[in-house]
Each structure stands twice: as C-alpha cells, then as structure tokens.
Amino acid sequence: MICESCGMPMEKPEDHGGGKEDNSWCKYCCKEDGSHKSKEEVREGVITFMMSEEGEKVFGKKFESREEAEKAADEHIAKMPAWKEETTEENKEEAEEKKEE
C-alpha cells in the first residue's frame, strides 16, 4: 500500500498515520493521532524530502534549488489520490479567473 497523500510505501503498521493500518495516509502526512495534515504541510514535507539525500535516491534526481523542488513537489502531489479532486477544482477556478480577465 502507498500513501494516498505523498506516495510513500507503507509496509509496516507504524508507517501508517497514527499507527493505524486502515489509515491510507502515512505517518509523515498525518498528525500523531492519525488525522490528516493540510495540503500545505504535506507539500512542505515533500519539498524537504525531495531535497534530501534519501529523496535523491527515491526520485533519481538531485534538486539543485528549492524552486525546482517546489515545482516537482507540486507536480507529484497533483497525481496523488488524496489531492486529485482538489487539484482539479483549483485548475477549474484558475481557468475561470483567466476567462474573466
């Protein structure tokens, strides 16, 4: 099972948010009690991870700047099931705003 929020593999019970195996979000995307963090908190965690040595191994790329990692994190998060609907709504709102301009 992978985290629906960030894509991290969850192989052990303690990998799941709150240590609850039925939680579809990982321990990094949840608060201690297993409740979900905000999208901004998750995004910040993904950016930090992408810029780490471990992130370089997982993503196969070293992000040279925070800006580059932010762009990659935004693209990655947009593909995650937890955020797909929200991302679609954001895209619709942006398109409407552009039409009005």
- Which band of pLDDT confidence, cut at 50, 70 and 90, is reported for residue 93? low
Q: Say if residues 84 and 39 touch (Cβ distance below 8 Å).
A: no
What mean pLDDT do residues 13-18 have?
95
- Which band of pLDDT confidence, cut at 50, 70 and 90, is reported for residue 84? confident
Instruction: Decide if 8 is inside a domain.
Output: no
Please count the structural domains in the chain.
1
Higher-pLDDT residue of 4, 101: 4
- Which band of pLDDT confidence, cut at 50, 70 and 90, is reported for residue 42? very high
The structure tokens listed for 97 are 């705003």
Decide: pTM greater than 0.85. Answer: no
Instruction: Decide if 33 is inside a domain.
Output: no
Domain that holds residue 88: 38-100
Q: What is the pLDDT of residue 100?
A: 62
Instruction: For residue 58, count other CB atoms closer than 10 A to its CB.
Output: 14
Distance CA 80, CA 61 (A): 20
Instruction: Decide if 18 is inside a domain.
Output: no
